[in-house]
Amino acid sequence: MSKKITVLGATGHIGTAIVHTLLKQGHLVTAVARPSARLDALAQAGATTKAGDAHDAPFLTDALRGADAAFLMIPPNVTSPNVLGFMDQIGEATAQAVRASGLKNAVHLSSIGADEAAGTGPVVGLHRQEARLNAIEGLNVVHLRPAYFMENLLANVGMIQHMGIAGSATKADAAFPMVATKDIAAKAAELLAADKLENHAVQYILGPRNYTLAEATTAIGQAIGRPELPYVAFSYEDAKKGMVGAGLSENQADLYDEMTRNINEGKSMANGPRDAASTTPTTVEEFAQTVFAPAFKAATA
C-alpha cells in the first residue's frame, strides 16, 4: 500500500538513498532540505520537494503535516562554534513540528553511543534528541543507531593525494563497527514503509564486522592502486590542528577528539549489540572499490 512519507535531510547520502528507494516502491515522498541542485534532482525523480531551514518549526510542521511516517534527522554543522547548541535548536524545532503536525510514526537517525549522556562528542546531541522524541505523546518512534560511517573515510582523499598516507587520531589497532550509508538508508526505508513501528525501539546498524582503520586503509590502497598505502595514527593535538586547518570549528574538533578517545578506549562508540538485524552487508572492501576509488579518481583528475 502506498504511503505518504516525509524525508528530512533529503539531500544527504542517507536521505537521497531513502527518497529513491521509497519512490521506486510507489510511495508519495516529500523531500525536505535546503535549496540545492540535489533537491531539484529529487523533484525530477518524482518527489514533492520543500526547500527551507531545519531551524524553522512552522516550515517543518508544514512538511510533516499529513505524512503517514517521516524520517527525522539533525543535519551536521561542522563550522558551528557551539555544535551541541546548534543540535539542540534543530532538535527542539523538529520536536515542536512533530507535535504541531500530529505525526504518528517516525524513524529517527541517531547513532551508536546515543545511550550515553556524555563522553561521545557530537553524539551527545543525539542522546538528547532521542529523549525529546520519546517524550512526545502519540508518536511511535524508532531510533536508528548506526556505527561509524564508511563515508567518513573519504576525508582521507586529500591526505592521500598530498601526503601519501591515510591517518587520524584513532589508533591503528582499534577495531570498531563501520557501516555504509546505503545500508543505513535501506534499513530506514524498510521501517518507514512498514505497517507498524515498535515504539521507542532502538535499531543498531553495524556493518558486516568490526574493522580497524589500518584494515580500511589496506582496502582503500588496493582499490586505488596504491597497495602500500600506510595508515598513520596522529597525536590528538596534531589531529585537532588538522581539523581546524580543514575548516572545522574549535568546538567541533574538540567533540570529534572526545569521540575518537571513546573509540580508542573501546567504549560505547566501538561496541554495539551485533545480531542478524544489526549486521549489514556492505564490506569495507566493497566500499573502497565502489565509492572511495571513484571519488579519489574524480578528485585526482
pLDDT at 41: 98
Q: Are strands 176-179 and 210-211 parallel, antiparallel or unpaired?
A: antiparallel
Q: Is residue 85 within a helix (H) or strand (E), and if so which, with residue range? A: helix 83-101
pLDDT at 1: 85
Question: Is residue 2 packed enough to be buried (19+ CB in 10 Å), middle (13-18) or exposed (0-12)?
Answer: exposed
Neighbours of 13 (CB within 10 A): 16
Q: Report the alpha-carbon distance of residue 251 to residue 247 in Å, rounded.
A: 11
pLDDT at 191: 98
| pLDDT tens, N- to C-terminus, the chain (301 residues) | 899 999 999 999 999 999 999 999 999 999 999 999 999 999 999 999 999 999 999 999 999 999 999 999 999 999 999 999 999 999 999 999 999 999 999 999 999 999 999 999 999 999 999 999 999 999 999 999 999 999 999 999 999 999 999 999 999 999 999 999 999 999 999 999 999 999 999 999 999 999 999 999 999 999 999 999 999 999 999 999 999 999 999 999 999 999 999 999 999 999 999 999 999 999 999 999 999 999 999 998 8
Question: Is residue 292 packed enough to be buried (19+ CB in 10 Å), middle (13-18) or exposed (0-12)?
Answer: buried
Sheet holding 48-51, edge to edge: 48-51, 28-33, 4-8, 69-72, 105-109, 140-146, 201-205
pLDDT at 106: 98
pLDDT at 110: 98
In three-state secondary structure terms, 64 is helix
pLDDT at 277: 95
